Structure 1
Amino acid sequence: MSDLKRLRRLLPYLRRDRRRLFTALLLLLPLSGALAVQPLLVGQVIAVLRGENAWGWLQAMEQSAALQSLIGLLLAAVLFRLALQGSQSFLVQSIGQRLTARLRVDLFRHSLDLSLRFHDRTPVGKLLTRLTSDVDALAEVFGSGAIGVLGDVVTLLVIATLMLTVEWRLALLLLLLQPPLTWLVITLQQRYRKANYRVREELSQLNADLQENLQGLEVVQMFRRERLNSERFGSTNALYRKAVNGTIFFDSSISALLEWVSLAAVALVLAVGGSLVSAEAMGLGVLTTFILYAQRLFDPLRQLAERFTQFQAGLTAVERIGELFDEHQEIVDRGRSSSLQTQGEVIFDDVCFAYRPDEPILQNLNLHIRAGEHVALVGPTGSGKSTVIRLLCRLYEPQQGRILLDGVDIRDLPITTLRKRLGVVLQDTFLFSGSVADNLMLDTQRPRAELEQICADLGLNPLLQRLPQGLDTPLRERGGNLSSGERQLLAVARVALRDPSVLVMDEATAFMDPSTEATLQRDLERVLNRRTAIVIAHRLATVEASDRILVLKRGRLVEEGTHQELRRQGGLYAQLAELQERGLASL
């Protein structure tokens, strides 16, 4: 995709601020004019002092009055430019911040809409870099780059026009230097662009390594990995530093080149202009004007090069942000059927699924779970139990087959409706920073009294009484101030608040002590009443209470029946149950 097409993506974000943008663009011409007129005024001061040809209205005035008028005009031009420059800078910076704020929100929403398959292969640190550093680079580009580039071009055109008006020979001499110099600067900038993309990639990897080590800090310290992980992080940091050095080389090369050419241009003006002054073909005032123009002619080009550096960094950011926006949303909300019965019948019809093409997880799986039935999924590790849950919740799409909820293909249901009817309690409970009440309600709104009653019915009162502020107790990130069992109790409670027709529990009691588990099992009877329940568990006590047990092996249903029926068959389930009774394995 070309840079122009990438930049077009920003147009919808700019339309809301088109009045501010139009005002900022209108200020470009008077700003350039105020800058370009200053060398002319200085040149006229020299001409008046030496008695050379000056502007007609100055010749009719006395020398002191003419000098006072020119100095006043010069001061007015400087103040006028400063006022306009401040106003334009405020407008441009505010537009840039508003643009990037909206862009960051859209990126965040898009990232949340992407399927787990994308997040499985994308490190969190790399995704954070897209939403933070890349968006910030885009803000810098727009704040001081995009409008600045247009301003530099307008300034060059205004200065070139005035130079040709004053002395066309010296003007042509200076302007002929511009095309080859501009070509050289653009060539170096293209190489800078490639180097800057590598910097962004290395920064992403650096953030990913940092985030991984901080999340796994407990394991790092327990297994004394501090030194080894620090060395690996140092290697990643060295690659980032090397990539940054590449951009510094191109940046400094451009600056040095422009500085050298600028000094050479001043020397050339002095040489040619000096000979013309000596031959009385040109006044000293005009030569002074051109010396100043020679300096200011390359100032926009120098600033243009610096802004091109920012601009290239911004284009790199736009490219990387565009790559994230281009990520296909695998889980598309078709939502053709909005009505859904609430019985809770679940059918897997010839379902095949694989996280990777060469590693099938589910193979032609057929399940029929009747409404109100309590079913346990059992099988060895890697048999596909948790995958069944993820497919039912439509976190992934099967490559083949259908999944029906109350006779409707879940792909034809609005995702909001589907997930409202499913209550899921995972083994690893995630709690957000906020109050206990906020974590219980999430997307539901319940009166405080009803919330307190449900907590009491589920036996949460002892837990809430231990907390300093009860339901209003603030939780740290991931519920760090609660034990694993306490977090699991809250997870079950927030599912009960949703009143789902199908309750799914994936190792929900894995982190609970026997006393807490017994309390929860007793209180769950009310939650499970007249609801379909799908339970993944490794404990016999949990599995035995199920109406039916489904045994999976390598993604296929190999056995089904009650606990007693499967024990009598002497198959895989019987083997796993016997091993667990001996304390040698889990179901």
Structure 2
Amino acid sequence: MSLAFCGTDNNSAAYNVDGGVLNNGCFLDALNVVPHVFLLFITFPILFIGWGSQSSKVHIHHSTWLHFPGHNLRWILTFVLLFVLVCEIAEGIVSDGQSLHLHLYMPAALAFMAGVTSIVYYHNIETSNFPKLLSALLIYWVLAFTMKTIKFAKYTEHGIGPRQLRYCITGLLVLLYGLLLAVEINVILGRRYMCFDDPTEVKPPEDLQDLGVRFLQPFVNLLSKSTYWWMNKFITSAHKRPIDLKVIGKLPIAMRALTNYIKLRKEFEDQKLSSIRPVIRPVVCFFTPGLLLGFSVQKLSEFFSCDEIGDEQEPRATLTSGYSNHNQNKFPSVSAAESEMCLCLLDSLCCCPPRTHTGKLTMIVGQVGCGKSSLLLAALGEMQRVSGTVTWNSFALFLCRLIHERGPVAYASQKPWLLNATIVENVTFEMPMIKSRYNAVIEACSLQPDIDILPQGDQTEVGERGIILSGGQKQRISVARALYQQTNVVFLDDPFSALDIHLSDHLMQDGILKMLREEKRTVVLVTHKLQYLPHADWIIAMKDGTIQTEGTLKDIQKSEPELFEQWKTLMHRQDQEFQTTVTETMTDLERKNLRRAMYSREAAKTEEDEEEESMESEDDDNLSQVMRQRATIPWRSCGAYLSSAGPLLLSLLLLSQLLKHSLMVAIDYWLARWTSYVISAKADGSPRNCSADCSFSHAWYLSVFSVLCCLGIVLCLATSVAVEWTGLAAAKELHHGLLNKIILAPMRLFETTPLGSILNRFSTDTNTIDQHIPTTLECLSRSTLLCVSAMAVISYVTPVFLIALLPLAVTCYFIQKYFRVASRDLQQLEDSTQLPLLSHFSETVEGLPTIRALRYEPRFRHRLLQFTDANNIASLFLTAANRWLEVRMEYIGACVVLVAAVASISSSLYNQLSPGLVGLGLTYALMVSNYMNWMVRNLADMEVQLGAVKRINGLLRTEAENYEGLLSESVSQVPDGWPRHGEIKIQNLSVRYDASLKPVLKNVNVHVSPGQKVKTCTRPAIVIDNIDISKLPLQTLRSRLSIILQDPILFSGTIRFNLDPEMKATDEMLWEALEIAQLKSVVKTLPGGLDAIVTEGGENFSQGQRQLFCLARAFVRKSSILIMDEATASIDMATESILQKVVMTAFADRTVVTIAHRVHTILNADLVIVMKRGTILEYDTPQALLDSEDSVFASFVRADK
């Protein structure tokens, strides 16, 4: 049949223009085609040429996403426009006659294509930030709005009113085109690109220009304007990507719909072409796993292609003449001999040949960041070699071959690394236990007092990364491990940084000089403690990545007299460091903290045990009681999870599930009834009387079936939305509550709860609540309702089935009862075997330098395989248990089918059942086993997954700090510049860490005048500048003070962000702070300067440099009160001397409270506080205390001299 735009009827007046062109409907529709054709011809070249070419100037890569004004409104209006255009197309097709008037629906079809094109065009314009190109859309909206307005006016003129569907659709299109035109004008005006003579450049917000912020996918989000008003600035930056990328959560739904459509069409085609089904189906099923396999292989290939230590193939150096034949079969480093290194590493460490001698003590000294630790790592083969060689025992080895040729070296890194094991396992470290040697090492490292504090002694597990220990205790265990190893070479990287003077002297005398020297072991020691230089057999002085000088102390005295005099001054100052039994030393504080932490953890553990015992019955020893407790479903955790979603969503979820499955049963029932009537009609018809068969009509059944199917689709969609919303709401509520509790939690929580446990709540448990529980809940509810529906249908079809239902239900109950207990235990076993595997892997990665130095790679690899085997065995048992359940459910299902079939056949013999109902009952009976199998498995999975909710609820019950304070409602009472003077008054202060612990401060009274420098080791301040801090909100109090902790903390980001997280300081202020902290020269050499990247934990800087950055951060804030907790512990004496002078001058008008253990810093203070057992013995100026004969402070200073 031929087609024509205005119709093929020759008698029609479609081409009549006597009343004017605009009065002819066909011509008017033709004019409406013009805007859409214009947009298609304009945008396609830009899309396919501009953005399709890789070499085009328009093709720009962007790391951020900048939304134009009216972004959300535009998308809503566009989708509504597309819907209305679909309605217009449908109206045109329905109203078309036999002459096929294309003008009734072709303009609407072109408008739909233009609408889709506008979406793609706008998306590319926005991602590339080219708003000038929106002029094409502006012209299109103007033309479309004009044409539709003319058409709407002509309809009104010809008397077509709201009763006509075409009139209403045209009016809606006029409104939508007008709104889109207004949005486009607002974008251009707001961006000021075209309508002003002097346009101003509009840049993305500063947080989007941060190099650390990346948008994972360039999808447009309708809900991207969400705000989290309750979060502070730091947490907001951490939530940047989740807030801006909520659309990622919608992608699986879209992909699921597309996948379902593909599967449905495939199944339909398979029914027509069943011969090719065996060939096509495996290919289609392999497509998605094949893509995932390709991505995984690509990632693994990139990882396996990375450079490895010692992967350069260079010829092995020949033996020197001095290397005798009888030593050729030994490891060169086992007799560790003389090491000669000439290295150029990473273009930053260039060394003249330093030399270490057999059985001697070599010390490496230098300022912070000069390359001391890098030299040790280079000798161990842990750094990239640019040039140079390393000689071990006169056997020349290229550095790239060093890791394959040398023997074990005991290495204690600057940052201590411990296993998640007992203390004795960390010290022996895979070596046989020799009691005498072990005791000697423990004594040399002063670990026995610390071991006595622990509840299980040296059998106490230190936790992940040694979480229960302080920095000094971890450092001493790391050094003890190096001393215990029976290697001839020992590398110690700054082992005294976290130790006080007494522990340092004891370790030096008993550990290094006595134990290592007596055993004739070669020791290379990196240190800032210059008072130990006289003990060195050889000294290497480094400066700016080079060897400044080397030799004995006498040689350096002759060759470098200025350097020697500088050392002499610093050594004299270090020799004045003292320690008494009255002032609380750093070691005493560590041991007190350890004792308090152990007591708190034992108390917390006791409380948990008592709570568990109170929940159990009195007959705990009865096995049946224990089994009954284990078989109980955790209803409390389930209720906590569902209540987190809210009653509205919970009601919606329950109602949608019930309606959905009821409708599914109704659909099947209607099909059964339809089938019965068809069979009955055919049976009643005959060749002689075909009236019954011929009069039967399928229209009524088809209409009802279609309506039921449409309702089923809507209810399936509503159920999916309800499940996702419920899971999302519950996850958000639990995560927000957990985050708030952790942020506002008191210190007791972190002392009694391992850090790994808290991290697991935010990682593993949160992931379980986000990803697994909603899916398991949906599967459980679906399988349960399907099983109940099947039983109900079978019972309705054959009521006799109710007799057999009771024994089957009892059997199923006992099977699921035993399976749930076993499945839960097996899943917990799998998790418990997976945790050591992951922990061992992470520990191995963190401690690779130590492991490779000791040549323990095969041992750790073997242990990793053991953990893998244990996890695989647990997974195998869990899979076998699932198969066990499946077999028994199949038996029950077979019984159900047997009973249903016998009952149905028996009933049908007596004409009591229609064929359709018999088929319905048998169909449901065949699916019962599958439904019951998944119901029980999902119930067991849900029971295990609800453990995550239980653990998070345990943290949610933590009592929070009084974060608001008594002045929270009137914070304006606190002056903006408070504290302005820095006056501190402590009046009758008695505090304790917990209600179950004894007070650590008792009736303390101290008055610190503004600007004084105080040395103490207690928490300062109750009244600051006449304001009681107990009444202040904690956020206000903490934001007005500056504190520098002993352990330096740097965040991933830039140097600017670490110095000024709030981005309020100018570059001049930041450079001034870096100059005060002696870091200006270091930062200037970095690419980017203040915007240089800081890796995770600041690992691209040395320990001392990280401490200096923390000092600079405190200088930027310029608070009136500065608290320094051993802030110079990891800094060399020369740098510390400069910083002390800077603090005395730059903070001359401010109050500085310092925790220090060096006598020269204490004597320079304005006020000294001497404390014992939580009470103040005396406090006054240092000179006044020294002049007093009965002063405790003076007596110990005289005793130290």
TM-score using structure 1 length: 0.77
Range 34-43 or range 465-474, more displaced: 34-43
2:777 corresponds to 1:146: yes
SS at match of 1:552: strand
Offset of residue 262 of structure 1:
0.5
Offset of residue 579 of structure 1:
8.3
Range 435-444 or range 219-228, more displaced: 219-228
2:664 corresponds to 1:34: yes
SS at match of 2:1168: strand
The 3 A distance-change label for structure 1 pair 258 and 528 is same
Name the CA distance, whole Å, in 2 between partners of 1:223 and 1:426: 33
Name the CA distance, whole Å, in 2 between partners of 1:290 and 1:451: 79
2:1150 corresponds to 1:511: no
Mapped contact 1:436–1:473 kept (Cα < 8 A): yes
Match of 1:425 among 1040, 1044, 1050: 1044
Superposition map of 1:151-162 within 5 A: 151-156=782-787, 158-160=789-791, 162=793
Offset of residue 263 of structure 1:
1.2
Range 130-139 or range 243-252, more displaced: 243-252
Mapped contact 2:1046–2:1129 kept (Cα < 8 A): yes
2:1143 corresponds to 1:534: no
2:892 corresponds to 1:273: no
The 3 A distance-change label for structure 1 pair 72 and 555 is same
Offset of residue 431 of structure 1:
0.6
Mapped contact 1:424–1:495 kept (Cα < 8 A): yes
Give the corresponding residue for 1:351. Answer: 990
Offset of residue 410 of structure 1:
3.2
Name the CA distance, whole Å, in 2 between partners of 1:366 and 1:237: 59
Give the corresponding residue for 2:1101. Answer: 482
Instruction: After superposition, give the CA deviation of every residue in 1:279-322 in whole Å (9 maximum; x if it has no partner).
Output: 66556554333211212345443332232123212322221111
Offset of residue 240 of structure 1:
7.0
Range 265-274 or range 465-474, more displaced: 265-274
Offset of residue 374 of structure 1:
0.8
Offset of residue 276 of structure 1:
4.3
2:93 corresponds to 1:93: no
Match of 2:762 among 121, 131, 137: 131
2:1144 corresponds to 1:525: yes
Give the corresponding residue for 1:116. Answer: 747
The 3 A distance-change label for structure 1 pair 408 and 290 is same
Range 447-456 or range 495-504, more displaced: 447-456
Name the CA distance, whole Å, in 1 between partners of 2:938 and 2:920: 27
Superposition map of 1:158-173 within 5 A: 158-160=789-791, 162-170=793-801, 172-173=802-803
- What amino acid does structure 1 have at the position aligned with 2:656? L
Superposition map of 1:75-474 within 5 A: 85=716, 88-89=719-720, 91-93=722-724, 95-97=726-728, 99-140=730-771, 142-156=773-787, 158-160=789-791, 162-170=793-801, 172-173=802-803, 175-176=805-806, 179-181=809-811, 183-184=813-814, 187-188=817-818, 191=821, 195=825, 251-277=882-908, 282=913, 285-329=916-960, 331-333=961-963, 335-337=965-967, 338=971, 339=973, 342=979, 343-347=982-986, 349-353=988-992, 362=1001, 365-377=1004-1016, 385=1017, 388=1018, 391-392=1019-1020, 403-406=1022-1025, 408-443=1027-1062, 445-456=1064-1075, 460-474=1079-1093
SS at match of 2:1043: strand
Offset of residue 436 of structure 1:
1.0
SS at match of 2:1124: strand
Name the CA distance, whole Å, in 2 between partners of 1:312 and 1:149: 11
Match of 1:22 among 634, 640, 652: 652
Instruction: After superposition, give the CA deviation of every residue in 1:324-362 in whole Å (9 maximum; x if it has no partner).
Output: 111222x32251145455233142635354689688755
Name the CA distance, whole Å, in 1 between partners of 2:716 and 2:769: 21
Name the CA distance, whole Å, in 2 between partners of 1:139 and 1:435: 31
Give the corresponding residue for 1:585. Answer: none
SS at match of 2:800: helix
Range 118-127 or range 348-357, more displaced: 348-357
SS at match of 1:557: strand
Mapped contact 1:374–1:532 kept (Cα < 8 A): yes
Mapped contact 1:152–1:303 kept (Cα < 8 A): yes
SS at match of 1:261: helix
Mapped contact 2:1167–2:1182 kept (Cα < 8 A): yes
Mapped contact 1:549–1:560 kept (Cα < 8 A): yes
- What amino acid does structure 2 have at the position aligned with 1:180? V
Instruction: After superposition, give the CA deviation of every residue in 1:532-585 in whole Å (9 maximum; x if it has no partner).
Output: 11111222332221112223344443454444455565876567657877xxxx
The 3 A distance-change label for structure 1 pair 71 and 251 is farther
The 3 A distance-change label for structure 1 pair 356 and 245 is farther
Offset of residue 323 of structure 1:
0.8
Name the CA distance, whole Å, in 2 between partners of 1:500 and 1:567: 31
Mapped contact 2:1042–2:1122 kept (Cα < 8 A): yes
Offset of residue 415 of structure 1:
0.7
SS at match of 1:500: coil
- What amino acid does structure 1 have at the position aligned with 2:943? Q
The 3 A distance-change label for structure 1 pair 75 and 241 is farther
SS at match of 2:958: coil
Name the CA distance, whole Å, in 2 between partners of 1:348 and 1:305: 64
Range 525-534 or range 245-254, more displaced: 245-254
Name the CA distance, whole Å, in 2 between partners of 1:574 and 1:193: 69
Instruction: After superposition, give the CA deviation of every residue in 1:134-180 in whole Å (9 maximum; x if it has no partner).
Output: 2232335542333444444544555455445544334x356445642
Give the corresponding residue for 1:382. Answer: none
Q: Which has the larger radius of gyration?
A: 2
SS at match of 1:529: coil
The 3 A distance-change label for structure 1 pair 102 and 433 is farther
Q: Which has the higher contact order (CA 8 A, sep 6+)?
A: 1
Name the CA distance, whole Å, in 2 between partners of 1:565 and 1:243: 71
Instruction: After superposition, give the CA deviation of every residue in 1:202-232 in whole Å (9 maximum; x if it has no partner).
Output: 7667766766666666666667777887888
Offset of residue 48 of structure 1:
4.8
The 3 A distance-change label for structure 1 pair 320 and 545 is same
The sequence identity of aligned pairs, in percent, is 22
TM-score using structure 2 length: 0.40
Name the CA distance, whole Å, in 2 between partners of 1:236 and 1:361: 44
Mapped contact 2:907–2:913 kept (Cα < 8 A): yes
The 3 A distance-change label for structure 1 pair 43 and 263 is farther
Instruction: After superposition, give the CA deviation of every residue in 1:403-427 in whole Å (9 maximum; x if it has no partner).
Output: 4434554332211222123211112
Name the CA distance, whole Å, in 2 between partners of 1:470 and 1:357: 50
Offset of residue 373 of structure 1:
1.5
Mapped contact 2:1076–2:1139 kept (Cα < 8 A): no
The 3 A distance-change label for structure 1 pair 527 and 187 is farther
Range 461-470 or range 27-36, more displaced: 27-36
- What amino acid does structure 1 have at the position aligned with 2:965? G
